[in-house]
Amino acid sequence: MTLSTATPFVVQYGADLVPNPIAHGGWGPTLGGQVVGGLLARAIEAQVEDTTLQPARLTVEILRRVATEPLQVSATVVRAGARMRSVDAAMTQGGALVARASALYLRRSTQPDGEFWSTPVDLPPIPEEPEQIDEAIPMFIRAYGPTGDSNGLEFPWQQAGPRYAWIREFRDLVDGEELTPFIRAAMAVDVTSSMTNFSTAGLAFINADYTLALSRLPDGPYIALAALTHTSADGVATGSSELFDHLGPIGTGLSTAISNANFDPKGKYARPS
């Protein structure tokens, strides 16, 4: 399969968005978090035509498992001020609310003078893009461990050390629609949960919600994540990541998760052919 012939995650029929099987996440026949977040971000972005507004925060709450069945997404502007805009979005299925999101847009202005400090991160380089990708892989993702390569592990995050990833969404979220930079970032940040919650024994935390904070939109199709923190106790976990494009850092991801077994990383994180 070439990048241009990939099956889309979702097809739109009137007000309904109908997922294809490729939209399944790693927890069974339910929608992956990146698809849920991408669809909510898509509805939010449609409410903001002012290009001087920067999407600075997106919080996605997955209230229940989203079935691979027709769904609807709507969004409304909650507040519009001189320097900001707040937008809420809701995803429903069978008349029930299954996920929701809130977003904050801030107006771009003059960057203040001075030097700022941030924790340094040494990313692996952007991987070579394959000409062919297995149709069973939802997205192109190259995962790295502490030495910048796979460390001989099938899943290089299954170790007690640093972990990174470069991601490239190559299929349409909604059939026939080009992915915008904001939607790309909203889909990529979902990886924060699995990246930060892998242990030496595997992945046993499932995303409850996640937040994307952006200082600017990504440039180009590739987005990188670097795991920054993990904390967990009594089956509740938090994790944070830093997001990058080929020019440098663009924002931060934050995930909250709950203990849950039966994750199958094959497919979601399978190696590209």
d(CA 20, CA 12): 11
- Is the pLDDT at 27 greater than 90? The verdict is no
The mean pLDDT value of the chain amounts to 90
Please tell me the pTM assigned to this model: 0.92
Q: Does residue 270 lie within any of the structural domains?
A: no
- Is the pLDDT at 138 greater than 50? The verdict is yes
169-183 pLDDT per residue, tens: 999 999 999 999 999
How far is CA 177 from each of CA 5, 11, 20, 39, 168, rounded to the nearest angstrom? 14, 10, 15, 12, 16
Q: Does residue 185 lie within any of the structural domains?
A: yes
d(CA 33, CA 187): 8
145-161 pLDDT per residue, tens: 886 555 445 578 988 89
79-108 pLDDT per residue, tens: 999 999 999 999 999 999 999 999 999 999
When pLDDT is cut at 50, 70 and 90, the band that residue 273 belongs to is: very low
Q: Quick one: pLDDT at residue 37?
A: 97
44-85 pLDDT per residue, tens: 999 999 999 999 999 999 999 899 999 999 999 999 999 999
CB 140 within 8 A of CB 130: yes
- Is the pLDDT at 215 greater than 80? The verdict is yes
Q: Quick one: pLDDT at residue 265?
A: 55
> Alpha helices, DSSP H only, in 71-222?
181-188, 191-197
Q: Does residue 226 lie within any of the structural domains?
A: yes
Q: How many domains does the chain have?
A: 1
Q: Does residue 101 lie within any of the structural domains?
A: yes
Q: Does residue 123 lie within any of the structural domains?
A: no
Return the SS3 of 268.
coil
When pLDDT is cut at 50, 70 and 90, the band that residue 267 belongs to is: very low
When pLDDT is cut at 50, 70 and 90, the band that residue 135 belongs to is: confident
When pLDDT is cut at 50, 70 and 90, the band that residue 120 belongs to is: very high
Q: Does residue 98 lie within any of the structural domains?
A: yes
CATH number at residue 243: 2.40.160.210
CB 214 within 8 A of CB 259: no
* Domain that includes residue 184, residue range: 3-107+132-259
